Amino acid sequence: MSRAVIAGRMLDAPAPGKTDLEEAALLIDQSGTIIERAGRGTPQFDMLLRSPDVRKLDARSLLIPGLVDLHIHAPQWPQIGTALDLPLERWLGEYTFPLEARYEDIAFAEAVYDDLVPALLAQGTTTALYFTTIHEDASLALARSCLKYGQRGFVGLVAMDNAALCPETYRHASPEAAIDATRRFIEAVRKLPGNETGLVQPVITPRFIPACSDALLRGLGELARETGVRVQTHASESDWEHECVRTRFGCTDVEALDTFGLLRQHTVLAHAGFTNADDRERIRKRQSAIAHCPISNAFFAGAVLPVRHLIDEGTACGLGTDISGGYSPSIFENARQAVIAARMLTSGVNPDTAPGKRGSPGLEIDFAEAFWLATRGGAEALGVPTGLLRPGMKLDALELRMDIGMSFPEGPDCAANAVQKIVCHAGLHSVTRVWVDGKIVDVHGRGKQP
């Protein structure tokens, strides 16, 4: 790949609530890194526009950073939008665990993952942090699908060994078996042909504390320290789960994970709605992060994570679809829901309660903050140099065609209005081109023209 130039309107969010909309040109080097950015009106802009490799966006389109999905269960893709009316324990026992157990069948796994990865790219998800299953071969198949379609993938072989909670047919036989499997998986992903640049990374993935023995949690913490590999797990998702950990360890999920050495730089905790201020301080201290999954939380959490506090405190946070606990593969739709959920937390929900007692004032987030969560927030959580259209970043980006509501905002408030329009209206229909690591990715068969 030679050097390339992209020119047109571009919008990114350097910080929560701060958005920047400018007509500019980006120069991308052979490694997919943005090495120069020049705004319209500068001599450098005019020079870049004369490049033979320039790609100019049309007047109704704009470039934004690619979306980061910080929490997604890849094997649950076949049942997305199914059985959400069930309570969690039936949803797990009747649908989710039996489906995940099927990934012993490598052909099944390959078919699902080869459908999922391009489907997510078509939605604009350039980076995904995946849970897979306990099956090493199937999990490697997901890593290969990421490489094949060019998605930045963080792939976690699930570790779970607690016989009290996990089905006999779907769990690791012992802590050692799970730790050994994780170690083999880390090595296998690192050695995958085509993964020389490290586009796909392994992740240490205890499913959640209730599904894991102490020995497994301790062993995975040691493995993380030894290998430097990132960690992900669920934490403080629901009243039941939170209480389960409190009963077992006499502390919160976050404290327990820290004790086991699992709270590390770029550890991503899914949900975390029932964390308290001390937990969040600990998360910041360890440079860990939270994956906010607002659609899933409406079905399985029973409360809303106060993202406002996270942003104000500087606790790292991004968005997750939580497929299939969440029904939508779209981070845009989750960004909208993050704004709505925060509004509902602020105003309260019960019309029979007096207005002054109904809600928790001051916990709104705005559309620009949701956009930051969807892009740069997720990238910072994972520690990848993406999420901004700035020199030094890898080019993970989307070309969006905005065609809802007639006009694209112009004038003094146009960056704020544009980001709101994007969060409100963007989706599968508006993502017209996708770049990961500087390359246009192939999402054909999904109605895209790469």
CA distance 36 to 188: 36
The answer to whether the beta carbons of residues 364 and 403 sit under 8 Å apart is no
Cα distance between residue 327 and residue 77, in whole Å: 10
Residue 273 sits in the site that holds a second copy (CB under 8 A): yes
Rounded to the nearest angstrom, the gap between the alpha carbon of residue 421 and the centroid of all alpha carbons in its chain is 21
d(CA 29, CA 34): 6
Q: Which is nearer to a second copy, 218 or 425 (CB)?
A: 425
Q: Are 162 and 171 in contact (CB under 8 A)?
A: yes
CB contact at 8 A, 99 and 78: yes
Counted residue by residue, the chain has a size of 450
| Closest distance of CB 77 from a second copy, Å | 6
**Residue 159 Cβ vs a second copy, minimum distance, rounded to whole Å:** 26
Stretch of residues binding a second copy (CB under 8 A), selected from 100-108, 188-196, 280-288, 355-363? 355-363
- Distance of CA 425 to CAs 15, 157, 322, 448, Å? 22, 34, 21, 18
Given 43, 355, 411, 412, the residue binding a second copy (CB under 8 A): 355
Of positions 89, 105, 226, 239, contacts a second copy by CB under 8 A: 239
We find the least distance from the C-beta atom of residue 69 to a second copy, in angstroms, to be: 15
The alpha carbon of 238 is separated from its chain's Cα centroid by a whole number of angstroms, namely 20
The tokens describing 223, both together, are: 């493995």
Q: Coil, helix or strand for 274?
A: coil
303 belongs to the binding site for a second copy (CB under 8 A) = yes
Q: Is 366 in the site for a second copy (CB under 8 A)?
A: yes
Choose, by CB under 8 A, the member of 367, 371, 372, 435 that binds a second copy: 367
Residue 223 contacts residue 263 (beta carbons within 8 Å)? no
Which range, of 53-61, 144-152, 173-181, 405-413, touches a second copy by CB under 8 A?
405-413
Distance CA 3, CA 130 (A): 31
Check: CB of residue 177 under 8 Å from CB of residue 219.
no
Q: Is 432 in the site for a second copy (CB under 8 A)?
A: no
Distance CA 174, CA 179 (A): 9
Find out whether 338 and 370 touch, Cβ atoms under 8 Å: yes
- Quick note: the x/- pattern for a second copy over 277-296, rule CB under 8 A, is ------------------x-
**Least distance in Å: CB of 344 to a second copy?**
5
Q: Where in 334-353 is the site for a second copy (CB under 8 A)?
A: 336-337, 340-341, 343-345, 347-353
Asked whether position 328 contacts a second copy by CB under 8 A, the answer is: yes
Provide, rounded to whole angstroms, the least separation between the CB of residue 321 and a second copy: 12
Q: Which of 274, 371, 372, 435 binds a second copy (CB under 8 A)?
A: 274
Give yes or no for residue 80 binding a second copy (CB under 8 A). yes
Quote the radius of gyration of the chain (alpha carbons, Å). 21
Q: Is the peptide bond before 31 cis (omega within 30 degrees of 0)?
A: no
Could you say whether residue 412 binds a second copy (CB under 8 A)?
no
Nearer to a second copy, 2 or 247 (CB): 247
State both tokens at 299.
């079905």
Asked if 177 touches a second copy (CB under 8 A), the answer is no
Applying CB under 8 A, does 409 fall inside the site for a second copy? yes
* Type of residue found at 42: T
For residue 359, state whether it binds a second copy (rule: CB under 8 A).
yes
The one among 33, 51, 227, 360 contacting a second copy by CB under 8 A: 360
Is there a contact between 147 and 172 (Cβ–Cβ < 8 Å)? Answer: no
Q: Map residue 111 onto helix, strand or coil.
A: helix
User: Quick one: tokens of 114?
Assistant: 């080869």
Q: Which of 85, 168, 196, 410 binds a second copy (CB under 8 A)?
A: 85
Site for a second copy contains 223 (CB under 8 A)? no
| Interacting span for a second copy (CB under 8 A) from 181-189, 262-270, 388-396, 401-409 | 401-409
The sign of the CA dihedral 191, 444, 127, 155 is negative
Instruction: Identify which range of 40-48, 111-119, 199-207, 262-270 contacts a second copy by CB under 8 A.
Output: 111-119
CB of 294 to a second copy, least distance (A): 9
The binding site for a second copy (CB under 8 A) comprises 77-85, 112, 115, 119, 239, 273-274, 295, 298-299, 301-306, 324, 327-329, 336-337, 340-341, 343-345, 347-353, 355, 358-360, 364, 366-367, 404-407, 409, 417, 420-421, 423-425, 427-429, 447
